[in-house]
């Protein structure tokens, strides 16, 4: 029988390895930055073109390489980080497997210029598809400069799966943040298409966080600093009031290496239990210093997963450390660290004997029982008249609900289809969340937040038509909005969409916009908060790269500006909300597909009481 097993060639093996190590341009950035840090660089410069697809250049002032080392660095499994297998369990460097450069060379054109401080001349190397094209002496500064051109040039299928430049650039900026935060003593400069995106001088940890995020976070973070025999914790956790709907700004670093750990993230979530709702997530930037012998970082090619020798101990210590920090900061309730006041009995006050109310005439075996009427107060029921109290506070701020009519063509059959026979006096609000209205065959229960969200979405989305563009009102005192680097780039790419919706945003310094004009139908709102929430919702909706950006913005803006639960509505507001909902093209579901209306038919009610 003919033999069918053969050894793969180096080029094929390297391309397979590249599939594990290099998934996108951000993967290349990560590997090159880690090499620069291992080379003891104090300044790193990153230059990008077309989100890294055309060019990635990483320049550092590290120790550089000798002529032999410069060539050997591109060989597979060639590394200076480990010598024997036991070194894998005592790692103090970022890279160690020696696969990164060999993998990158197999799918790109690579140039290297490097020089040690003691050498007069450096080395210039060109490699294409793992083939050495040139190696010669050259004039260059101390350190290394890696240039990666035309990533995935020889694997077009892989290049085809890359997303658009905005998405790929966001991944790159995320990777740079994950390296720049723990190495705040290193200066980072990032350029994209000849435009400076980042300029991070050497700083303290809190200064680095403020530059990457925005300065308004400074008073929203609580310091963590706990030294325990097993592990040392330091860093910052966010206050409950700045919790977000997404898991943005959540960073774990073990020995200054970024990791992902759902298990440890659960410990953080447990520490905030009772302080934030279950659908929100807190910011944290936490560093764990652990003896390298007690962890294994070699369980995943990307090195973002890690295995602890005793994960349960780390979990318990982290939970208690975060709780202690929150308690010391005196945010909200005192968690577990104050004396239990329930046992503080005041003996100078008379102790009342507990009373038990019961009906002495009740006989469970008697068929004809007459019960005494129970007062409404005894049952702690709300008087129905309170549902119709006059609401004296400010009305709903959004003009789309109060003084503007949606310009949507209504279907005459809609009223018949829904069998709406509503009178203003028959509307009432239930638990400040739902609007209940009768119809011919039962009741409709309408979610007020989702209904308003759908109304606003269709109103905003209709502004795409030139005749429906939303007017902008010039601000007497423009609002300055400071964003993180990635958020700034996102808003920059969407400025023309914001303008259609009435937001006049102009660049105003580093990662900052000046809000010169606002939608005429929005007033007396915190636009810093609106923009921040809008960006957050936009990211949550951006699962599909083919998603229409304008539709996404409209959904995000509708969610950011709609009335929320707990808002008491007047009869007129409820009536207007219901009428405008039934004028929408879609009445049953909100923009994210969640139901708006629940129908409770008379038949359903009859069946229940016939049981």
Q: Which residues contact 310 (CB under 8 A, 6 or more apart)?
A: 230, 294
Distance separating alpha carbons of residues 557 and 279, to the nearest angstrom = 19
pLDDT at 320: 92
Predicted local distance difference test score (pLDDT) of residue 102: 83
Work out the average pLDDT over 553-570: 88
Give φ, ψ of 516 to 5 degrees: -85, -30
Comparing 72-81, 142-151, 238-247, the range with the smallest average pLDDT is: 72-81
Give the chain's mean pLDDT.
78
Given the DSSP bridges, would you call strands 284-289 and 250-254 parallel, antiparallel or unpaired?
parallel
pLDDT confidence of residue 45: 96
What is the per-residue pLDDT across 471-509, written as a single tens digit (0 to 9) for each? 888 888 888 888 888 888 888 888 988 898 888 999 888
Which residue, among 294, 107, 213, has the nearest Cα to 482 in the 3D structure?
213
% the chain with pLDDT above 90: 30
pLDDT of residue 371: 35
| pLDDT (average), residues 373-382 | 31
pLDDT for residue 17 is more than 60: no
pLDDT, one tens digit per residue, over 388-402 is 233 223 333 443 443
Least confident interval from 142-146, 162-166, 256-260: 162-166
Q: Express each pLDDT in 440-479 by its tens digit.
A: 888 899 999 999 999 999 999 998 888 888 888 888 888 8
Q: Rounded distance, CA 192 to CA 207, Å?
A: 23
User: Using CA atoms, how far apart are residues 492 and 396, in angstroms rounded to an integer?
Assistant: 31
| Reported confidence tier of residue 571, pLDDT bands at 50, 70, 90 | confident
- Decide: 63 and 116 in contact? Cβ < 8 Å: yes
In the sheet with 434-439, reading across from the earlier edge strand, the strands are 428-430, 434-439, 442-447, 597-601
């Amino acid at each position: 029988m003919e033999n069918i097993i053969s050894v793969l060639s180096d080029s094929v093996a390297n391309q397979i390895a590249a599939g594990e190590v290099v998934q996108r341009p951000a993967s290349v950035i990560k590997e090159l930055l880690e090499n620069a840090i291992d080379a003891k660089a104090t300044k790193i410069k990153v230059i990008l073109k077309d989100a890294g697809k055309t060019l990635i250049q990483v320049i550092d002032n590290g120790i550089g390489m000798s002529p032999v080392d410069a060539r050997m660095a591109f060989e597979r499994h060639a590394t200076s980080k480990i010598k024997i297998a036991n070194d894998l369990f005592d790692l103090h460097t970022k890279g160690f497997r020696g696969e990164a450069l060999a993998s990158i060379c197999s799918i790109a054109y690579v140039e290297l210029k490097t020089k040690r401080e003691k050498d007069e001349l450096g080395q210039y190397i060109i490699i294409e598809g793992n083939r050495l094209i040139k190696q010669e002496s050259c004039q260059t500064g101390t350190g290394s400069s890696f240039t990666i051109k035309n990533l995935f040039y020889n694997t077009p299928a892989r290049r085809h799966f890359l997303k658009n430049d905005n998405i790929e650039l966001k991944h790159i900026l995320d990777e740079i943040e994950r390296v720049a935060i723990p190495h705040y003593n290193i200066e980072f400069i990032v350029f994209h298409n000849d435009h400076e995106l980042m300029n991070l001088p050497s700083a303290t940890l809190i200064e680095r966080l403020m530059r990457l995020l925005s300065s308004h976070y400074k008073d929203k973070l609580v310091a963590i600093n706990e030294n325990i025999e097993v592990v040392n914790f330091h860093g910052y956790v966010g206050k409950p009031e700045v919790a977000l709907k997404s898991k943005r700004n959540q960073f774990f670093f073990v020995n200054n290496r970024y990791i992902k750990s759902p298990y440890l993230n659960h410990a953080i979530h447990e520490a905030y239990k009772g302080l934030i709702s279950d659908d929100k997530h807190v910011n944290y930037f936490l560093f764990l210093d652990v003896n390298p012998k007690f962890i294994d970082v070699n369980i995943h090619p990307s090195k973002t997963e890690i295995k602890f020798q005793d994960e349960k101990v780390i979990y318990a210590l982290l939970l208690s450390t975060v709780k202690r920090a929150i308690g010391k900061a005196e945010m909200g309730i005192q968690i577990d660290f104050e004396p239990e006041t329930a046992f503080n009995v005041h003996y100078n006050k008379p102790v009342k004997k507990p009373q038990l109310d019961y009906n002495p005439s009740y006989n469970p075996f008697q068929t004809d029982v007459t019960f005494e009427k129970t007062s409404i107060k005894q049952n702690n029921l709300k008087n129905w008249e309170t549902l119709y109290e006059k609401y004296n506070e400010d009305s709903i701020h959004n003009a789309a609900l109060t003084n503007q009519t949606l310009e949507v063509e209504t279907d005459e059959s809609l009223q018949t289809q829904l069998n709406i026979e509503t009178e203003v006096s028959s509307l009432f609000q239930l638990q400040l969340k739902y609007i209940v209205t009768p119809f011919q065959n039962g009741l409709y229960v309408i979610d007020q937040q989702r209904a308003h969200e759908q109304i606003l979405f269709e109103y905003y989305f209709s502004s795409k038509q030139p005749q429906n563009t939303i007017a902008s009102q010039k601000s007497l005192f423009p609002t300055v909005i400071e964003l993180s680097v990635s958020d700034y780039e996102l808003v920059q790419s969407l400025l023309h969409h914001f303008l259609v919706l009435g937001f006049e945003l102009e660049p105003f310094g580093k990662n900052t916009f000046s809000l010169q004009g606002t939608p005429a139908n929005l007033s007396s709102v915190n636009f810093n908060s609106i923009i921040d929430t809008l960006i957050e919702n936009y990211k949550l909706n951006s699962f599909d790269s083919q998603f229409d950006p304008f539709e996404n913005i409209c959904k995000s803006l509708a969610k950011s500006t709609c009335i929320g639960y707990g808002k008491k509505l007047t009869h007129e507001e409820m009536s207007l909300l219901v009428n405008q909902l039934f004028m929408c093209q879609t009445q049953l579901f909100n923009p994210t597909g969640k139901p708006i209306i629940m129908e409770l038919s008379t038949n359903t009610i009859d069946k229940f009481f016939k049981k």
